[in-house]
Structure 1
Amino acid sequence: MTIRFYVQDITLLSKLEIRFSSVDGMTTHLGWSLSRWKMSRGWNEVMVPIKSLTANGAESIDNTMVSIQVSVTGTGGAIVFDSIYVNRPSKAAVIFRFDDGWTTQYTKAFPILKSYGYVGTVGVISNYVGTTGYATLAQLLELQSFGWEIFNHTANHPDLTTVDPGLIRSEIDGCRQWMNQNGFRSASDIVAYPYGSFNQDVLDAMQGYKLGLSTQAELELAPPVSPLTLKTLTINNDTENSVYEAAVNQAVETGSTLIILLHRIEDSGTDEMIYHADKFAAMVDFLAGKSIEVSTFSEWLL
């Protein structure tokens, strides 16, 4: 089930709840709720596995639903509903998103994905390319030659919400210019916001760009309803396997897209951004056993 709605002011909301009932008066119902932390300002499109609906009383998904009740908890504001779809046709997909362009994305992640015939995407910080710890231009070009996609992660990686509006455009345009000059045109207009931070000034500066990538956790559908605030599942050093397994299973069940964000793929280390290579290999092997495509952003939009 897919629910599409518009949020004008996320700061005023606490929770959204929807109930489905097969009887008058809602004496029994199936319920679902979403906290504000999984919503974003503007249009939202949320995929809800039918089995995740919680039964109240003797209600069952096998019954014919005759009424829907929606409630919004908060201090004000409003949510505008566009539609609720059931059995909407779509194909499950995963996009591996590697931010910053670390060397180990080439030396560790690339061979693992290549062994399964999978590809990934890399967000480059143009002024960091070839510096200590970061992939070289030659390595990025090799990734691209194997079907990987290189996207825009700004020129210097500042928190775009803390700089002057004019500098926001300079950062994303500067990286795009470097990418276009070095043969990475296909995704130079796809931008990952440093630290996942964005505000209205950032969104205004992004006009004319194709996609903007946040770090807010949720699934997506193609074409995305809010292309400048795509949601992502972030994988850190201490992320349990069950987290991505549940997200992959939900993507398969709902025909949605899971964007998985990783940074440094290394054999060891406790830094939050490091994900161990053996754990990454286990993640890829888990995906291989599922009915799900591994895609790039541009392929996903086709």
Structure 2
Amino acid sequence: MFKFKNIKLLITSFVIVSLFYPNTYKLIYDNIDKTRIILSINKTDLKVIDSKTNKSKIAILFSGGYKTIYDKAFPIIENNNLIANVGFIPSLENEDGYMNYSELSSLYIKGWNILNQTYSHEKNMYFKCDELISDIIKAKKYMDTHYLDFASDSVIIPYGEVNPYLIKLLKENNFCSIKTSDNIILMDGEIEYCHLKVININNSTTVEQFEEFISRCKKNNYFCIVMFDRLDDNNYNRNSNYCSIEKFKRIIDTILKHNNEYEVVTYNNLISKKN
């Protein structure tokens, strides 16, 4: 845990700020909960997932940063001693139905990769590459300055389609990967596709289909990403992007049933060229 070596100096600094820079003091005071969380995060505290087995690799990835991920999925992941990953859209932080900074920080400290899902997640950006790269860079800067930086250079493209010109812009700005609708483009060195398959779990996906999917991946030596959007029993039958809590539990149980063959890893571990 982060600790100040000279607490007297810290207190003195706050007193000086309050007397001579009242606006700065007000900003700190108004955001004291966030400030406390930031100061408490130290990279030595993080749970590091370092895979050294020959098992097939699976990454569990949640899109959008919805609050149900923290409320419903996180306890299930934790209780089964697993790890997962989540896309983060900074402009939606604290919006109704989305995770706040405290919740995201809790996932980060537990070892989850927090991926860059752009700052605004606007629609119809395929031909607006210059605007989109600016939005992605803005999200990265936000994540880096808020200590959510382990995977801020891994991008999830809004709505899955990536313009080849955007790939060039991302590589020039030192981003390492792009998650599209059905694959991951690696840019750390030569531009190439990752050897993996993606399955999106929604209200029409059956557990049997999922089990068949991971069996095919194992047979053909593919890594796999299991994608979830929203978890919600109330809207399960009305929106194709939702997955019920019960189905999510069964998907996790299926993975655990095959734990002698499959290993659940972080996104960064999955795309590492060391694999």
**CA 1:91–1:226 in 2, change beyond 3 Å: closer, same or farther?**
farther
- Per-residue deviation at 1:98? 0.5
Q: If the length of structure 1 is used for normalisation, what is the TM-score?
A: 0.64
Change (3 A) 1:256 1:231: closer
Report the counterpart of residue 233 of structure 2 in structure 1: 267
Q: Which residue of 1 aligns with 2:267?
A: 297
The alignment covers a number of residue pairs equal to 211
State the distance in 2 between where 1:254 and 1:111 align: 32
Cα distance in 2 for residues equivalent to 1:199 and 1:229: 20
Counterpart residue number, 1:195: 159
The answer to whether the 8 A contact 1:217-1:234 is kept is no
Determine the structure 1 residue equivalent to 2:43: none
- Structure 1 residue 176, shift from structure 2 partner: 0.5
Q: Give the distance between the partners of 1:213 and 1:239, measured in 2 at CA.
A: 21
Which residue pairs with 2:252 in the alignment?
284
1:180 aligns with 2:144: yes
Q: Which letter does structure 2 place at the counterpart of 1:107?
A: D
2:71 matched to 1:107? yes
Q: Which residue, 135, 139, 149 being the options, matches 1:171?
A: 135
Q: In the aligned structure 2, how far is the partner of 1:242 from the partner of 1:224?
A: 37
Alpha-carbon spacing, 1:275–1:268, altered in 2? closer, same or farther (3 Å)? same
- Summarize deviations over 1:81-106 as a string: whole Å, max 9, x none: xxxxxxxx964011011011000011
1:145 to 109, 112, 127: 109
The Cα of 1:140 is off from its aligned counterpart by 0.4
Once the 2 structures are TM-superposed, how far is the Cα of residue 214 of structure 1 from its aligned partner? 1.0
Match of 2:84 among 120, 128, 136: 120
RMSD of Structure 2 on Structure 1 (CA): 2.6
Give 1:149 shift. Answer: 1.0
Question: Do the aligned partners of 2:83 and 2:266 also contact (CA within 8 Å) in 1?
Answer: yes
Structure 2, unaligned runs of 5 or more: 1-52
Deviation at 1:203, TM superposition (A): 1.4
Quick check: 188-197 or 228-237, which moved more? Answer: 228-237
For residues 253-293 of structure 1, the C-alpha deviation after alignment (integer angstroms, 9 at most, x for no partner) is: 33321111111112232212210011000000000011200
- Secondary structure class of the residue paired with 1:186: coil
Structure 1 contact 160–197 (Cα < 8 Å) conserved = no
2:192 corresponds, among 202, 205, 226, to 226
Deviation of residue 229 (structure 1)? 10
Q: 1:112 to 1:101 in 2, by over 3 A?
A: same
Structure 2 residue matching 1:175: 3-state secondary structure: helix
* Uncovered stretches (5+) of structure 1, i.e. residues with no partner: 1-88
Change in 2 beyond 3 A, CA 1:213/1:99: same
Structure 1 moving runs of 4+ over 6 Å = none
Q: Distance in 1 between matches of 2:79 and 2:190?
A: 30
TM-score by length of 2: 0.71
Shift of 1:113: 1.1
Rate the CA distance shift 1:230–1:285 in 2: closer, same or farther, 3 A: closer
User: Alignment partner for residue 204 of structure 1, among 164, 168, 179?
Assistant: 168
- 1:212: how far off? 0.6
- Counterpart Cα distance in 2 of 1:228 and 1:199: 18
In structure 1, what residue type is equivalent to 2:207?
A: N
Q: In structure 2, do the counterparts of structure 1 residues 109 and 160 end up closer, same or farther at CA, with 3 Å as the change threshold?
A: same
Give the 3 Å change call, closer, same or farther, for CA 131–229 of structure 1 in structure 2. Answer: farther
How much does 1:224 deviate? 10
Residue 234 of structure 1 and its aligned partner are, at CA, apart by 1.3
Structure 1 239/105 Cα, relative in aligned 2: closer, same or farther at 3 Å?
A: same
Residue identity matched to 1:148: W
Answer yes or no: is the 8 Å Cα contact 1:94–1:258 preserved in 2. yes
SS in 2 for 1:232: strand
1:139 deviates by 0.1
Assess if the C-alpha contact under 8 Å between 2:62 and 2:69 holds in 1: yes
Structure 1, residues 110-162: CA drift from partner, whole Å, max 9, x if none? 11111111111010111111111100000000011111110100011124643
1:163 CA drift (Å)? 4.6
